[in-house]
Structure 1
Amino acid sequence: MALPNQHLTPQEVAFICESELITIVPRQRLGALNLISIDTRPLVPPQRADVPLWLAVFLRRQKRCNVVPPDWLTVENLERLVREESDSAAFSQMPWRWMEVAEILLDTCSEDLVAPSDIALHIRSLRELRQAKIRAGLADQINSSYIKINNLGLLEVCEIRPWVGKVVDGLRKIEGETGSAASRKRREEADEDEDMYDDE
């Protein structure tokens, strides 16, 4: 039996993301739901309600609700975020599960989004800009004893964690070998100095 991965796969991250709350507008009356993670109030049109993303997707597929996209998932906000991301060396403040939520909503609820193709384009641009910053940030910090990058999303962290861990372990191993070689050299020099004093 193989041991499980030490990191989350993109599919596992998407599954975890489905517990994120999202706002819907029901199209028909539904009674209160007692779920494991949350109890929903009765869904009455046109009152908005917050439900887990997986339930919103399920109801949307059955045409029982419309999904209200998060405030940040509009063309205007994404354009602003792309500008901020390209103009600043720091990462923009984004929701923890921004990429996963955007992908799920674009795949399943694109009819409820205004200009979904533009949104997808801006999400792709934002992702590419952030990946380039991650690579640059890691290159800058490669010789430090720790790596610090703020404002990353969950999927971004899970994507870089496996290979960053390997790189850091490799650097520690090299540093350990270099450090042990240096200490060995110092011991040899100290022994030579002692031998020199012993000969006198």
Structure 2
Amino acid sequence: MEHVTVIPRQRLDGLELLGGPTKPLNPPFSTPLPLWLALLLKKQRRANISPPPWLSVEALTHILDFETDERTAEVFSPAPTMPRAIGMTPLEGDPYLSRDSLELSPPFMSDAATARAQEDALPYHWLELGHLLLTHAADDFDEPDTVRKLLRDLREVRMSKLRKGFKVLGPGAGIKMNGVGGMEVAEVRGFVVGMVDGLRKINRSREESRKEREIEERENGLGSSSYADEEDEDML
């Protein structure tokens, strides 16, 4: 559940929610709240939303410069720094629950969209958060139109990188997707699935091809050639 920072306009007692209790709202002190609740209070004009640091014009401009720099053309801007891994006492001989094996992943970082968010990194849901906040709380931004344009430019640049990376993807190769957001993964999924399926059909292993030929020869009553004979032919 994403949280954002709100600046209440009136007092409001804390609420008991399924995700845990919320803090009481006391103007003019800022408080983190679940995104859906913050948007509801904004709609009711009972609170303003403080945009996260990475949604400022300066931060987005810096990230866009990184994305378009020739020296970093093959990578995405770094994701927010991961918190320290927190694990449980592992069972003897089982490292699964060791302290070094568990950590929060990007979609579940608690301060990804609050006033404490990292300024120079885009969180996992940056596109969705930017769209919602600009749609329902545009008056809380200093320059909403500029922020909207920068987000659009970032999306186009990063999607171009994704498509370019997958177009040159060959058998046994890979592409780094560190820093890619959830909406970007969803948008490129159809393209990737089709490409991977094509690679699977084109680059079937030699053993699979040999087995298919042997089955066809048996069905046609021609017998099958030996493994050694085929290896000799391959060496010619």
TM-score tier after normalising by the smaller chain length: 0.7 to 0.9
Structure 1's 163 and 175: CA in aligned 2 closer, same or farther, altered over 3 A?
same
2:177 to 137, 142, 149: 149
Shift in CA distance, 72/193, structure 1 to aligned 2, threshold 3 Å: closer
Partner of 1:37: 19
Structure 2 residue 76 is the aligned partner of structure 1 residue 91: yes
Q: Does 2:36 align with 1:58?
A: no
- SS of equivalent residue, structure 1 residue 172: helix
| 1:139 aligns to 2:200 (yes or no) | no
Single out whichever of 180-189 and 170-179 deviates more from structure 2.
180-189
Query: C-alpha displacement at 1:63, in angstroms?
Result: 0.4
Structure 1 position 47 matched with structure 2 position 29: yes
Partner of 2:152: 124
Q: Could you tell me the TM-score, scaled by structure 2's length?
A: 0.67
Secondary structure of the corresponding residue to residue 6 of structure 2: strand
CA distance in structure 2 between the aligned counterparts of 1:119 and 1:171, rounded to whole angstroms: 39
Map Cα deviations across residues 114-143 of structure 1 (whole Å, 9 max, x no partner): 110000000000000000100111123243
Counterpart mapping for 1:1-200 below 5 A: 19-87=1-69, 88-93=73-78, 94-144=122-172, 146-176=174-204, 180-181=208-209, 190=226
* Cα distance in 2 for residues equivalent to 1:173 and 1:96: 33
User: What one-letter code is carried by the residue in structure 1 that aligns with 2:152?
Assistant: R
Q: In 2, Cα distance between the equivalents of 1:188 and 1:136?
A: 43
In the TM superposition, residue 162 of structure 1 has moved relative to its aligned partner by: 3.0
Amino acid corresponding to residue 56 of structure 2 in structure 1: T
Q: Which runs of 5+ in 2 are unaligned?
A: 79-121, 215-222, 231-236
CA RMSD of aligned residues (A): 2.5
Q: How far off is 1:71 after superposition?
A: 0.5
Comparing 20-29 with 132-141, greater Cα deviation is found at 132-141
Structure 1 stretch 59-68 or stretch 170-179: which is displaced more? 170-179
Number of residue pairs matched?
176
- Cα deviation for residue 146 of structure 1 reads 4.6
Q: Which amino acid aligns with 2:154?
A: L
Structure 2 SS opposite 1:90: coil
* Equivalent-residue separation in structure 2 for 1:151 and 1:61 (angstroms): 32
Q: Which has the higher helix share?
A: 1
* Contact 2:14/2:22 (<8 A) preserved: yes
Equivalent pair of 2:6/2:31 in contact (CA under 8 Å): yes
Q: Kindly tell me: are residues 167 and 46 of structure 1, through their superposed partners in 2, closer, same or farther at Cα, counting changes over 3 Å?
A: same
Partner letter of residue 156 of structure 1? E
Q: What is the CA–CA distance in structure 2 between the aligned matches of 1:123 and 1:112, rounded to whole Å?
A: 16
- Structure 1 unaligned blocks of 5 or more: 1-18, 195-200
User: What percentage of aligned pairs have identical amino acids?
Assistant: 38
Return closer, same or farther for 1:191/1:50 CA change in 2, 3 Å cut-off: closer
After TM superposition, the score normalised by the length of structure 1 is 0.79
Alpha-carbon offset, residue 176 of structure 1: 2.3
- Equivalent-residue separation in structure 1 for 2:138 and 2:170 (angstroms): 40
